Amino acid sequence: MSGYNNILVGLDLSDESSQVLTRAQQIAACTGAQLTLAHIIEPLTFAYGGDIPMDLSEVQEQLQNQAKEQLRKSAQELGIPQDRQHVVLGQPATEIHRLAEESGCDLVVIGSHGRHGLALLLGSTANGVLHGAGCDVLAVRVHTPDE
């Protein structure tokens, strides 16, 4: 089996994202793979279903700009070029699948918070990515400071 060549790293840009990025870096260093970073933002209209009688486009744009800046900083530390940095509006699992396919990725690395109970029944982004991916998926168990 040959190593991975192109790794898509799905980041939620939380404090724990560095754990996911570190694991992806380790794999890339061992296999010589290129890293592509992605952050998916769910449209505010998904969360509120259009029930709010106001234009949320400015807020959405601010969220996207902040995410792009955070992703740019992470990418810059690793020397990842801008064309391999993606901030996308949409449903996270669907967009990660699309980006992985379009970019020819052979591994997707995402974080998993290991939630229990009701969160497991409702599903998660990690679960959605795992069950629809056309390539290998590594779910990195992230730990919060209080764990």
- Look over the chain and give the mean of its residue pLDDT values, rounded to a whole number: 85
In a domain, 147, yes or no: no
How many folded domains does the chain comprise?
Answer: 1
Its domain, for residue 124, covers 6-141
Sheet holding 136-141, edge to edge: 85-89, 34-41, 6-10, 107-112, 136-141
Residue with tokens 């939630």: 115
Kindly report the CATH number assigned to the domain that includes residue 82.
3.40.50.620
In a domain, 66, yes or no: yes
Structure tokens at 38: 């992605």
What SS3 state is found at 82? helix
Measured CA to CA, the distance from residue 67 to residue 124 in angstroms comes to 21
In a domain, 48, yes or no: yes
In a domain, 110, yes or no: yes
pLDDT of residue 33: 96
In a domain, 146, yes or no: no
Condensed to tens digits (0 to 9), the pLDDT of residues 13-52 reads 988 899 999 999 999 999 999 999 999 998 876 555 555 6
In a domain, 73, yes or no: yes
